[in-house]
A and B are shown apart, each in its own frame.
Chain A
């Protein structure tokens, strides 16, 4: 047989997370701190609205770019949270999770050989999606000493005449880092000077524990050159519903809708009805979950401090990213040994980029009781390592 597979695809490395997953899944009674999704169930009134949509026979396609009601709610949400207005009819598209929005956003703008700047450590999809779209990913290695924020110097030095887009993944998975207004202002200045687009992945926007999240679209001159991506998975604990969206100027959305229309048709109809309910009446749920995550975050930071484990204080998402360099092991060695000896699964930082070496991603999308058991085991484990 001939070689049938696409080189573009075969050259993509499988997700490092997946690799680790295989080890964990074979192990009995392991505790996992490895998931990147909320531990809460979708709030009942949202699920109920989904059920109601089924009962009413809302089982057909919606318009390609999404239900009118949902696009209006999304537009209203961005207006009340960021003060920026998007026309629901032409500047909003409802997608199958934020991940689809990343994919079609890249495909809509990339020509072969364009460069896309990807700060890492970050979510595993950006690089493969950029490559699939024909771009050359240019990696920026974020640094712990900057609390994993993107600095203007780092951005400046990554820009070339071929740079088309910057991916801005804040609040960040896996580090929990955030970018505040002053940080964003410096980035925006460089972006505008160099005439570059931004894809701002704000899927964790509702989960910040300092100031309220500031989107780069709210800065002067940025709305017209930004694809804002968000979704329902993290804020409303709706991962399995596969519902996300992108807001951008109409010339961009128009092209994204084309790809979406031919590849996907539309986001799941039931999920879209549930999404309307989430945006309309879900604020209290988000507040309750945020408060709960914040308590766990404080618990973990306190526990790390007590055991002397180096970790910068993250203010976003639901991850902490402790440094394990003192133990002289790679992240993968540490995580594997920790799993084998103490039966706790965490994700090696390297799953999110080479510069995640020396770090672990620990998710606090778990009950405090689970976290307590896991942290006790972590303490035991590192004490063993230290006394060797």
Chain B
């Protein structure tokens, strides 16, 4: 049941307990218990909303920054990752295999602010060797959701 519950709320976190219970063929009590457990275990880390900011009047710029760092003895990449992810403007930090080490996703109001973050805060960290910054021009799909989808039921209204 856990897996199915997670796959439902990953797509729709607003669904209420009673409906979840119906869809999963179980009781509301059981749903509540499971959700609580999953939250406690840190499996469920939050209930967020996917917003297409491009359609609002709020300006946002997203930067993807590839960061090469020197890992520290005994700590690996964890300490430097923590120094970076503690900045509230940093939306995500991933350790990446391949040509660079950390992928940092940054959200700011302007391009200039992102540039400022990279030059003032990120590059000046001791273990950071180099950075390469990319700006997102358009989001087509995010969190498994196609952002500008025109879905129309193409089926005939009655079929055998």
Interface residue B159 (Cβ < 8 Å from any Cβ of A): yes
Interface residue A32 (Cβ < 8 Å from any Cβ of B): yes
Q: How far is the CA of A29 from the CA of B79 in the complex (A)?
A: 58
Interface residue A125 (Cβ < 8 Å from any Cβ of B): yes
Interface residue A212 (Cβ < 8 Å from any Cβ of B): no
Cross-interface CB contact of A24 among B24, B25, B155, B158, cutoff 8 Å: B158
Total A-B residue contacts, Cβ distance less than 8 Å: 52
Q: Are A34 and B23 in contact (CB under 8 A)?
A: no
- Contacting A at CB under 8 A, from B17-45, are 19, 22-25
Minimal beta-carbon separation of A230 from chain B (angstroms): 17
Q: Are B153 and A299 in contact (CB under 8 A)?
A: no
Minimal beta-carbon separation of A64 from chain B (angstroms): 27
Q: Are B157 and A37 in contact (CB under 8 A)?
A: no
Interface size on B, residues (CB 8 A): 15
Q: How far is the CA of A35 from the CA of B25 in the complex (A)?
A: 25
Residues of B within 8 A of A347 (CB): 158
Q: Are B157 and A36 in contact (CB under 8 A)?
A: no
Cross-interface CB contact of B23 among A21, A39, A295, cutoff 8 Å: A295
- Contacting A at CB under 8 A, from B116-137, are none
Minimal beta-carbon separation of A383 from chain B (angstroms): 21
Interface centre among B8, B19, B156, B158 (most CB of A within 10 A): B158
Interface residue A265 (Cβ < 8 Å from any Cβ of B): no
Interface residue B7 (Cβ < 8 Å from any Cβ of A): yes
Mask for A23-46, Cβ within 8 A of B = 1, else 0?
011000010101111010000000
Interface centre among B7, B19, B153, B157 (most CB of A within 10 A): B157
Q: Are A35 and B159 in contact (CB under 8 A)?
A: yes
Residues of A within 8 A of B25 (CB): 298
Q: How far is the CA of A36 from the CA of B160 in the complex (A)?
A: 5
Q: How far is the CA of A20 from the CA of B160 in the complex (A)?
A: 11
Residues of B within 8 A of A32 (CB): 153, 157-158
Q: How far is the CA of A225 from the CA of B13 in the complex (A)?
A: 51
8 A–B pairs (Cβ distance < 8 Å), ordered by A: A21-B157, A32-B158, A123-B160, A125-B160, A291-B4, A295-B24, A298-B22, A302-B22
Q: Which residues does A use to contact B, with CB under 8 Å?
A: 15, 17-18, 20-21, 24-25, 30, 32, 34-37, 39, 123-125, 173, 291, 295, 298-299, 302, 345, 347, 351, 368
Extra pairs beyond A123-B160, A298-B24, A302-B22 (18, CB < 8 Å):
A17-B159, A17-B160, A20-B158, A24-B157, A25-B157, A30-B157, A32-B153, A32-B157, A34-B159, A35-B155, A36-B159, A37-B155, A37-B159, A39-B155, A291-B4, A295-B24, A298-B25, A299-B19
